[in-house]
Structure 1
Amino acid sequence: MTTQFEKQSSITRRSYLRAAVGAAGLAAVGKSAAATDKEYDVIEVPAGQTHSVNLGDGEVLENVLFDISARNARIAVRARANDWTIRNVGVRGRWDGTRNSVHPFVLEVPDPNAEGRVENVHFGTTTASNADYANGPGGPYVFPGHAGHITFDRVYLQHFQDNGIYASPPGLPGKGRGGTVTIENCLAYRCGTSNFRLGSTGSELRNCVSVEGHRGFWGQLNETTVVDCDFIDNNSDIAAGESQYATGRDAEITLENSRWVGEELTHTSGARIVGESEGKPKVRVPAGCPETPRQAAAAQGGDE
């Protein structure tokens, strides 16, 4: 399977530099460009260090390629604020270590009237385990305190053991604030516990492709929707519910115009999967996804 991801929008390099001021672990920042590409920064993280970027209200992280090829090099992008944007970002190299619940992106929009966007991001990484279900890091994580709306648009993920996009916590009873998440035009390959995971009522998976995950899509909590998606060779293509939480015992997934041939799984007797497969799943990359981390950083492959 080729490594493809998503693209979008234009921005200024200044936005990235402003967001990254004071970040730890910066070894080298180089400027790179190709014909008709957008200019982007290359950040090579030194061995054993973590390069951190923290976004505040209204800030933008964009046009950057993080290289974590050095031993135990990592990134930590944190956006726990309102009206932020992460776009045109590539990550290349190996994520060393097998500790769970380590996520390169941690996200939250605390204001119910605000939003965040993750656009054209490519995780061209491998992990120490490199398995579809084992101990290891996770992809982007959405905090329980998320109350607004987050959109993931044209994002490619691979080989994250603790879920690909892990966005169910806002639906947790008690501490979850019910913020919604839309995942669209994305591709996830061989992630566990699931390739895509949602759990707040009103959250959606749209025009996405899920390949060889432990669960292709997990609607863990509440009521979620899947539209025009393809699920290919996952251990369970569609999984609904969670016995541990009240909001998961009667969880419901509604599927429209989507395709799968594998297993459907309900974790509790009250959980429901509504809808039937519309035929053979399509092995495809959603339109506009860049093929490499470099293409993501350069804003190639999608609508301008």
Structure 2
Amino acid sequence: MARDETARERSSEESLLNRRSYLKLAGAAAASVAAAGASSSSAKAASYDTIKVPANSKKTIKVGPGETFENKLIDITADGAHVKLLTEGSGWTVRNVGVKGQNNNMSGTYGTFYLRCTEEGEGLAENIYLGDGAVDRCGHAAMSDWDNHGTVTIRNIHVQGWAADGMYMSHAGVSKSHGMGETHVENAFLKNNNIENCRLGTPGSYIKDSVIHVESQDAVSSNQSGQVNARGLWFKEQSGMKAINCDISVTGSHAVFASDSGSGTLENCRVEGPVTGPVEQVNVSGSPDTSPPASVPMSAEEAASGKIDSSDGTTSPSSGDGQQSGDQQSGDSTDGQGDLLELVAADDASKVKYEFTVEGSARKKTSGDPTAEAGDSVTDNGDGTVTVSGVAGNGYGDAFFVDGAITSMNLDESVWTLRYAGSEVNADDLTLPNKLVVDGGNRPRQACDYSFEVSGAVRKSTDLGSVQKSDTVSDGTVTGTVFGGKDGYRFSGEVTGFDLDGPANISVEDGS
């Protein structure tokens, strides 16, 4: 499955270790805090509605501003059946939707899901299955960003076997009149889609933590004109697009392609196949893992029932009028990307201030309780970090979605209660100062097993390295494997032991 993004770091100690080694490394002062982090539980299956499209007909579904369309199985197994889902306005959510049946409607070149927002608006589509594909010579695309002027986030999606296009998300970049809205694709499984598996076209658009796989050109259905050119990722129309921590494997065409004024960057990706055009490569290696991400539904029923843990407890985006749709769970989890950090002032505290810094990004929580207010600020420091500051009092608080590591926090803990990812924590839990990175990039085709212990707390750092099923963190002991990529951790105290089997660069940075 795909891995999480690796950030650049400055190392204070580095060593290349081969065979089994045991190291004692001095670090910062010992600490007894427990690592804070989110624990993910399996999503509970929900009942769903079935929408059956009759033979030789097209069903149009419109999702308007602030509306939620969820837990639906759309059955197009009848001959010539087709569905078109159109989003309109802002604040909409499409969640737990599966399309069952291969699209064999040969009339026109309609898309299937049109995901777009109005200017400054936001929309969310998650836990979507479009994996049954389309028949040969069918001109329908799986997904389009036609006329998108806002920001659309698409996560935990399965698109496979579409004859014309997989994710055609570049139309908004043709010109300003077409929208120039951003598309954010996260945790996608895109396989054997013709023309492109994913096409991005506007500055700020990205695909991350995803798998793109074309087994061969023979495994792909042709489009309405009989063409087969199954590219992996296509940067088109504009610059400033990214693929972050993705596994891309394409046989017979371009793995990554940039053309028609399009350009982009690959960061911490594993790629097999040609990379063509103006594509910058940062920490790119081979040997991609093409297995589906665990968060992606593998059937229409699985998507519709919500059995996959996509954003368990999330809420829909803000509709822009301050009102939530009736399907939302107020304040239940996120209307943005990242882990939820809540800062609640004591009842007898008046106008107390806080400030913290994140390596990554932070975003205000705008619905539920608590929420961030207009006077609270998130400032981009221009170096990959943001600084968040605000004020609260009298039992009230603020909340932010944090995507990255919290590296410093300035507040009086005697008057604040902190909750991170649902657990009450203290500042030391959040600001583990030290970094350890295991980098297997020097031998991209060799696995390296490792384990280490720390005297304080330790947690996986998705901003420093990857997330793999085999990596474990328990009571200050870490075990894992790298295969051409990086694993990263933040910790307090010192490293008391290290065991390595295979070639890797080990870097430790004392941030105290």
Of 190, 194, 197, the match for 1:195: 197
Displacement, 1:135?
5.1
Of 257, 263, 267, the match for 2:274: 263
C-alpha change, 1:50 and 1:260, in structure 2 (3 Å) is: same
Give RMSD over aligned pairs.
1.8
What is the SS of the residue equivalent to 2:272? Answer: coil
The reply on whether 1:293 has 2:300 as its aligned counterpart is: yes
Q: In 2, distance between residues paired with 1:252 and 1:298?
A: 38
Q: 1:151-166 to 2 correspondence within 5 Å?
A: 151-166=153-168
C-alpha change, 1:290 and 1:216, in structure 2 (3 Å) is: same
Are the aligned partners of 1:128 and 1:136 in contact in 2 as well (CA < 8 Å)?
no
Q: In 1, distance between residues paired with 2:109 and 2:282?
A: 32
Q: In 2, distance between residues paired with 1:206 and 1:174?
A: 25
Are the aligned partners of 1:290 and 1:302 in contact in 2 as well (CA < 8 Å)?
no
Of 125, 134, 154, the match for 2:132: 125
The reply on whether 1:218 has 2:234 as its aligned counterpart is: yes
Of 142, 145, 150, the match for 2:145: 142
User: Computing the radius of gyration over CA atoms, which structure comes out larger, 1 or 2?
Assistant: 2
* Equivalent position of 2:343 in the other structure: none
Q: 1:18-33 to 2 correspondence within 5 Å?
A: none
Q: In 1, distance between residues paired with 2:245 and 2:303?
A: 24
1:302 maps to a residue whose letter is: D
* Equivalent position of 2:282 in the other structure: 275
* Equivalent position of 1:44 in the other structure: 52
Structure 1 stretches of 4+ moved >6 Å: none
Q: In 2, distance between residues paired with 1:96 and 1:169?
A: 24
2:248 maps to a residue whose letter is: F
* Equivalent position of 2:381 in the other structure: none
2:81 maps to a residue whose letter is: A
* Equivalent position of 1:230 in the other structure: 247
Displacement, 1:51?
1.8
Are the aligned partners of 2:104 and 2:138 in contact in 1 as well (CA < 8 Å)?
no
Q: In 2, distance between residues paired with 1:164 and 1:99?
A: 18
Q: In 2, distance between residues paired with 1:75 and 1:97?
A: 10
What is the SS of the residue equivalent to 1:175? Answer: helix
What is the SS of the residue equivalent to 2:172? Answer: helix
Displacement, 1:100?
6.2
Are the aligned partners of 1:185 and 1:206 in contact in 2 as well (CA < 8 Å)?
yes
Are the aligned partners of 1:215 and 1:238 in contact in 2 as well (CA < 8 Å)?
yes
C-alpha change, 1:97 and 1:49, in structure 2 (3 Å) is: closer
Q: Deviations over 1:9-32 (max 9, x none)?
A: xxxxxxxxxxxxxxxxxxxxxxxx
Of 74, 91, 94, the match for 1:86: 94
Q: In 1, distance between residues paired with 2:185 and 2:44?
A: 28
Structure 2 residues not aligned, in runs of 5+: 1-42, 215-219, 221-229, 313-512
Aligned length: 253
What is the aligned-residue identity percentage? 27
Q: In 2, distance between residues paired with 1:36 and 1:252?
A: 41
* Equivalent position of 1:28 in the other structure: none
Are the aligned partners of 1:252 and 1:274 in contact in 2 as well (CA < 8 Å)?
no
Displacement, 1:52?
1.6
C-alpha change, 1:115 and 1:41, in structure 2 (3 Å) is: same
C-alpha change, 1:154 and 1:141, in structure 2 (3 Å) is: same
Are the aligned partners of 1:88 and 1:119 in contact in 2 as well (CA < 8 Å)?
yes
C-alpha change, 1:253 and 1:99, in structure 2 (3 Å) is: farther
2:46 maps to a residue whose letter is: K
**With structure 1 as the length reference, what TM-score do the two structures score?**
0.78
Are the aligned partners of 2:81 and 2:105 in contact in 1 as well (CA < 8 Å)?
no
C-alpha change, 1:258 and 1:51, in structure 2 (3 Å) is: same
Structure 1 residues not aligned, in runs of 5+: 1-34, 243-247
Displacement, 1:98?
4.1
Displacement, 1:124?
3.2
1:177 maps to a residue whose letter is: G
Displacement, 1:40?
0.4
Displacement, 1:272?
3.8
The reply on whether 1:252 has 2:270 as its aligned counterpart is: no
C-alpha change, 1:135 and 1:89, in structure 2 (3 Å) is: closer
Are the aligned partners of 2:135 and 2:163 in contact in 1 as well (CA < 8 Å)?
no
Deviates more, 1:156-165 or 1:191-200: 156-165
* Equivalent position of 2:410 in the other structure: none
Q: In 1, distance between residues paired with 2:195 and 2:108?
A: 11
Are the aligned partners of 1:124 and 1:157 in contact in 2 as well (CA < 8 Å)?
yes
Q: In 2, distance between residues paired with 1:125 and 1:188?
A: 12
C-alpha change, 1:276 and 1:220, in structure 2 (3 Å) is: farther
Q: In 2, distance between residues paired with 1:206 and 1:126?
A: 22
Displacement, 1:294?
0.2
Displacement, 1:175?
2.4
Are the aligned partners of 1:103 and 1:141 in contact in 2 as well (CA < 8 Å)?
yes
* Equivalent position of 1:26 in the other structure: none
